[in-house]
Structure 1
Amino acid sequence: MVDVTTQIQLQRGQLADTDGIAIDLLKDVRYSRDHVVTQVLTWISEHYACKFTIAEMASDLGYSESYIYKKIKDHLGVTLNDYLNRYRIRMAINQLIEDPSMLIYEAADASGFSDYKYFNQVFKKYLGMTTTDFKAKVLQ
């Protein structure tokens, strides 16, 4: 069940993880003092809807995968995969809010999730509710 705090966080563009810690995804890019982290976050914001591997991203940016993983973990305190999933979920939520008639699997695909079941698992992990509950309760 969604509590008031979660609804407010969603409205402000934040995602709460299972520990209740929120990450403001846009703030990560704007306030990063690390050039590599800024490059990675910008690249993600430009390519999140595509299906890509971390190896492809690293190659495009000219860094090794391990270097990127370490920089993100050190700077943001979350893994690169966790950040990418959070970002994609946020984008899917934005799409659903903008177009409530959009089907869940369409939002999942448009935000870079190629596996609908995995999208549902990640969605529930970060928001504490299913996609169906989200559409019913938050997008009323």
Structure 2
Amino acid sequence: MKRLQSNSSNHPGLWTYNNQQPEVITPNVVPPSLSAALEAAVHSIGQRWITVIGGQASFVQQLVNAGIPRQRIRWLRPGKTDDRAWALEQAVLSGTSDVVVAWVSGFDKRAAQRIRLSSRVSQTQSFMFEEDVLTPHLH
């Protein structure tokens, strides 16, 4: 079962036939949460990667604490936004990951569209977060 959770709508457009009015459906969008991503990773049955792109070491440690072997966790930390977008697209499309958890802030419109399209055709569960939403405030 494929689950893509994102804060934005994934609808590519409305289609009409012979001047019919388009049917507008408002999806029940549930904002992704780290706990949902963690649960998906723990319940993944395969032996493929749990890929984390960006994020912080604390999330990787949560995966290990939940019983996922460290050898099964692939943590990618590309510095450039373009590299992070490419890594996310490849992780989703390659079929080598059971779950992909990524932090996606700063992507341009084209990169965001490519990632949405790759997520639609992939069987990989994807969880994408905005960086500043999850970064704890300074003490």
Q: Same fold (TM over 0.5)?
A: no
TM-score, length basis structure 1: 0.26
TM-score, length basis structure 2: 0.26
Bigger Rg over Cα: 2
Structure (1/2) with the larger helix percentage = 1
